[in-house]
Amino acid sequence: MYVKVAFFSFLKKLIFYYLYCRTQKHQCTIPMSTFLQTSIEFLKGVGPVKADMLKKELGIHTFSDLLTAYPYRYVDKTRFHRIMDLSNESGEVQLKGILRKLDVLGDGRKKRLVGRLRDETGVIELVWFRGIFWLQNKLEVGKQYVAFGKVNYFNSFLNIAHPEMEEVSEQNLKANLTFAPVYSSTDKLNNKGLDAKGRRSLMSLLLSKMSPADLPENLPEYLIEKMKLIGRHEAVNWIHFPKNQQQLDAATNRLKFEELFFLQMRLLQSKHRRKASIKGYVFSKVGDHFHKFYKERLAFELTGAQKRVVKEIRQDMGMGIQMNRLLQGDVGSGKTVTALLCILIALDNGFQTCLMAPTEILAQQHFVGISEEVDGMDITVAFLSGSIKGKKRKAILERLLEGEIDILIGTHALIEDWVEFKNLGLAITDEQHRFGVKQRASLWKKGKPLPPHILVMTATPIPRTLAMTLYGDLDVSVIDELPPGRKSITTTHRNENHRIRVFGFMKEEIAKGRQIYVVYPLIEESEKLDLKNLMEGYEAISREFPLPDYAISIVHGKMKAKDKEFEMQRFVKGETQIMVATTVIEVGVNVPNASVMVIESTDRFGLSQLHQLRGRVGRGADQSYCILMTDFKLSTDARERIATMVRTNNGFDIAEADLKLRGPGNMEGTQQSGMLNLHIADLGRDGEILRTARAIAQRILDKDAELTHPLNERLRNYMEAMGKKVRSWGRII
DSSP state of 78: S
d(CA 413, CA 647) in angstroms, rounded, equals 41
CATH of the domain at 381: 3.40.50.300
Question: Taking 80 as the threshold, does the pLDDT of residue 614 lie above it?
Answer: yes
Is 652 within 8 Å of 463 (Cβ atoms)? yes
Same domain, 565 and 644: yes
Q: Which residue has the higher pLDDT, 486 or 162?
A: 162
What CA–CA distances, in Å, run from 330 to 43, 460, 463, 581? 51, 7, 12, 23
Asked if the model's pLDDT at residue 1 lies above 90, the reply is no
Residue 324, in any domain of the structure: no
Distance CA 492, CA 501 (A): 13
Residue 415 has pLDDT above 50, yes or no: yes
Write out 413-447 in H/E/C secondary structure: HHHCCCCCCCCEEEEEECCHHHCCHHHHHHHHCCC
**Predicted confidence (pLDDT) at residue 283 exceeds the cutoff of 50:** yes
Strands, sheet with 490-495, edge to edge from the N-terminal-most edge strand: 490-495, 625-630, 594-599, 515-519, 578-581, 552-555
Q: Specify the pLDDT at position 437.
A: 55
Q: What is the mean pLDDT of residues 312-332?
A: 90
What pLDDT is recorded for position 495? 92
Q: What share of the chain is helix, strand, coil (3-state, %, to 5)?
A: 50, 15, 35
Residues 83 and 55 in one domain: no
> For 179-215, how does the pLDDT look when each residue is reduced to its tens digit (9 = 90+)?
888 888 888 888 888 887 788 889 999 999 999 999 9
Distance separating the N- and C-terminal Cα atoms of the chain? 47
Specify whether 170 is located in the same domain as 61.
no
Q: Who wins on pLDDT, 221 or 531?
A: 221
pLDDT at 191: 80
Lowest mean pLDDT among 31-40, 557-566, 646-655: 31-40
Mean pLDDT of 227-242: 95
Given a cut of 50, is residue 627 above it in pLDDT? yes
The tally of domains found in the chain comes to: 4
List, as own/partner pairs, every contact residues 21-30 make where C-beta atoms lie below 8 angstroms and the sequence separation is at least 24, other chains included.
Answer: 24/209, 29/211, 29/213, 30/214
Please compute, for residue 265, the number of CA atoms within 13 A of its CA located in the half-sphere on the CB side.
25
Q: For residue 20, count CB atoms less than 10 angstroms from its CB and return exposed for 0-12, middle for 13-18, buried for 19 or more.
A: middle
* Residue 110 exposed, middle or buried by CB count within 10 Å (0-12, 13-18, 19+): exposed
CB 452 within 8 A of CB 443: yes
Which pLDDT does position 582 carry in this prediction?
86
- What is the per-residue pLDDT across 37-53, written as a single tens digit (0 to 9) for each? 899 999 998 989 999 99
- Percent of the chain past pLDDT 70, that is, above it, reads 87
Sequence letter at residue 429: T
* Predicted pLDDT at 665: 52
Residue where a domain terminates, one of 625, 648, 671: 648
309 & 451 share domain: yes
pLDDT, greater one: 557 or 73: 73
Do 531 and 638 lie in one domain? The reply is: yes
* Strands, sheet with 475-479, edge to edge from the N-terminal-most edge strand: 381-384, 407-410, 352-356, 424-429, 453-458, 324-329, 475-479
Q: How many CB atoms lie within 10 A of CB 265?
A: 23
pLDDT value for 501: 94
Query: Which segment, 425-439, 508-522, 583-597, is predicted with the most confidence on average?
Result: 508-522
Q: Is the peptide bond before 548 cis (omega within 30 degrees of 0)?
A: yes
Q: Are residues 313 and 435 in the same domain?
A: yes
Q: Which residue has the higher pLDDT, 443 or 298?
A: 298
User: What is the spatial distance between Cα 521 and Cα 533, in angstroms, rounded to a whole number?
Assistant: 9
73-77, 430-434, 606-610, 688-692: which range is least confident on average?
Answer: 430-434
DSSP string of 248-279, one letter each residue? HHHHHHHHHHHHHHHHHHHHHHHHHHHHHH-B
Residue 703, domain member (yes or no): no
**Residues 111-146: pLDDT tens digits?**
899 999 999 999 999 999 888 888 888 899 999 998
Of the pLDDT bands very low, low, confident and very high (cuts 50, 70, 90), residue 7 is: low
Q: Which residues, in sequence order, are CB contacts of 56 under 8 Å at separation 6+? A: none
Residue with the bigger pLDDT between 403 and 562: it is 403
Average pLDDT, the chain: 84
Q: Tell me: do 52 and 119 sit in the same domain.
A: no
Domain hosting residue 614, numbered range: 490-648
431 lies in the same domain as 558 = no
> Are 420 and 539 contained in the same domain?
no
The confidence score (pLDDT) of residue 506 equals 96
Q: Is residue 59 part of a domain?
A: yes
pLDDT of residue 441: 66
* More confident position, 435 or 680: 680
> What is the percentage of the chain residues whose pLDDT exceeds 90?
47
Rounded mean pLDDT of 327-331?
84
Query: Of the ranges 56-65, 190-199, 627-636, which one carries the lowest mean pLDDT score?
Result: 190-199
Per-residue model confidence (pLDDT) at position 725: 63
375 and 513 share one domain: no
The reported pTM is 0.71
88 shares its domain with 67: no
- Of 614, 648, 682, the residue at which a domain comes to its end is 648
Domain boundary among 630, 648, 666: 648
Note the pLDDT of residue 171.
64
Same domain, residue pair 58 and 127:
no
Question: Domain for residue 470, yes or no?
Answer: no
Beta pairing, strands 407-410 & 164-167: unpaired
pLDDT at residue 31, as a whole number: 37
431 located within any domain: yes
pLDDT tier, 485 (very low <50, low <70, confident <90, very high otherwise): low
> Which residue from 649, 638, 629 is spatially nearest to 493, judged by alpha carbons?
629
Residue 575: phi and psi, rounded to 5, are -80, -20
The CATH number that applies at residue 106 is 2.40.50.140
Average pLDDT over residues 697-717: 94
